[in-house]
C-alpha cells in the first residue's frame, strides 16, 4: 500500500514499506524512474519471502511523489532518500542503488555510514551529471544550457530528458569520485557489459576509487542498463544474500 511522508524540506514522498526483520533493504531507483519498476518489485517479493523489511519510494518529481522532475537535482533526491530512510527504517539498512540510485547510496554512505549495513549497486552512475552529460556536451550545447537554463537530450526510455543548469551546477556539489570514499561494510557492484548508459569503465573507476575491506565488482557479459532479466535479478538477490551473510 502506497503511503506518503512529508520531509523536513516540505517535499511529499510516496513510499511502500514492508515490515520484517533487519537489517532491512532499501531500493533507490534511477534518474526519472519510479518504485514500480521490475527490480523494485522483484526485490520486494524477495524480501517478503525472506521475512525481511523492505522500503521502496519515489524521489520528488518521480513517480507519484509530489514535485516537478525538471526542478529537481541530485541533492534534492539525496535529501529525499536520507529523510525517508532515517524516518521510516530502524537500524542500519542494506541499500540497493540502481543507476542514479547508486550515486545517491554512495552519498548516504559518505554522510551517514552508521545507517548502512551493506551496499549493492546496479549500474551505479556516480557523478553522471558531470562526467556523463556535461563532459559530452559540445561548446554550443554548454552555452545553450548556461544561457537558456536547460537543454533536451535523447533518451532510450521515451521522451527526451530535460537537463537543467541547476542539475549540472548542483551536481558538482555532490560528486563522490573526487575525494576519499570509505565503504566500511560489505559492498557489491553489479554492471552489464552492454550498458549504453553507464560504461564498464565507470564501474572499474568506482571499484578502484572506493575503500572497503569487502568489495566486489561483478561484470555480466551482454547485460544492459535495465539489468532486469531473470538472470540479472537472480544476481542481485545473490549479492544481497552475500552482504547479509557477511554480517553474520
Q: Which residues are catalytic?
A: 99, 195, 225
Q: Are strands 3-6 and 12-18 parallel, antiparallel or unpaired?
A: antiparallel
How would you class 221 by CB atoms within 10 Å of its CB: exposed for 0-12, middle for 13-18, buried for 19 or more?
Answer: exposed
The secondary structure element, H or E, covering residue 159 is: strand 158-164
Other C-beta atoms lying within 10 Å of the C-beta of residue 60: 23
Pairing of strands 52-57, 12-18: antiparallel
Cell of 218: 561483478
- Let me know: does 126 contact 176? Beta carbons within 8 Å: yes
Residues facing 17 on adjacent strands: 55
**Pure H helices in the chain:** 38-50, 74-88, 100-111, 128, 135-136, 139-148, 165-171, 200-209, 230-246
Cell numbers 560504461 correspond to what residue?
199
Amino acid at each position: 500500500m502506497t503511503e506518503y511522508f512529508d520531509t523536513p524540506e516540505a517535499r511529499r514522498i510516496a513510499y511502500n514499506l514492508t515490515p520484517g526483520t533487519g537489517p532491512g533493504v532499501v531500493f533507490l531507483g534511477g534518474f526519472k524512474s519510479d518504485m514500480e519498476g521490475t527490480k523494485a518489485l522483484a526485490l520486494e517479493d524477495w524480501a517478503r519471502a525472506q521475512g525481511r523489511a523492505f522500503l521502496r519510494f519515489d524521489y520528488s518529481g518521480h513517480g507519484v511523489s509530489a514535485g516537478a522532475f525538471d526542478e529537481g537535482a541530485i541533492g534534492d533526491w539525496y535529501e529525499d532518500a536520507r529523510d525517508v530512510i532515517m524516518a521510516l527504517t530502524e537500524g542500519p539498512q542494506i541499500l540497493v542503488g540502481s543507476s542514479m540510485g547508486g550515486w545517491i547510496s554512495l552519498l548516504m554512505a559518505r554522510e551517514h555510514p552508521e545507517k548502512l549495513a551493506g551496499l549493492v549497486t546496479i549500474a551505479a552512475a556516480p557523478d553522471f551529471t558531470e562526467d556523463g552529460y556535461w563532459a559530452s556536451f559540445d561548446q554550443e550545447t554548454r552555452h545553450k544550457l548556461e544561457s537558456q537554463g536547460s537543454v533536451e537530450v535523447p533518451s532510450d526510455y521515451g521522451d527526451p530528458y530535460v537537463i537543467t543548469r541547476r542539475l549540472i551546477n548542483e551536481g558538482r556539489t555532490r560528486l563522490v569520485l573526487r575525494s576519499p570514499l570509505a565503504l566500511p561494510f560489505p559492498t557489491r557492484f553489479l554492471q552489464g557489459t552492454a550498458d549504453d548508459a553507464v560504461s564498464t569503465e565507470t564501474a572499474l573507476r568506482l571499484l578502484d576509487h572506493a575503500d572497503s575491506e569487502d568489495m566486489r565488482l561483478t561484470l555480466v557479459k551482454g547485460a544492459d542498463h535495465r539489468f532486469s532479466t531473470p538472470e540479472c535479478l537472480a544476481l542481485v538477490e545473490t549479492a544481497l544474500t552475500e552482504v547479509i551473510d557477511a554480517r553474520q
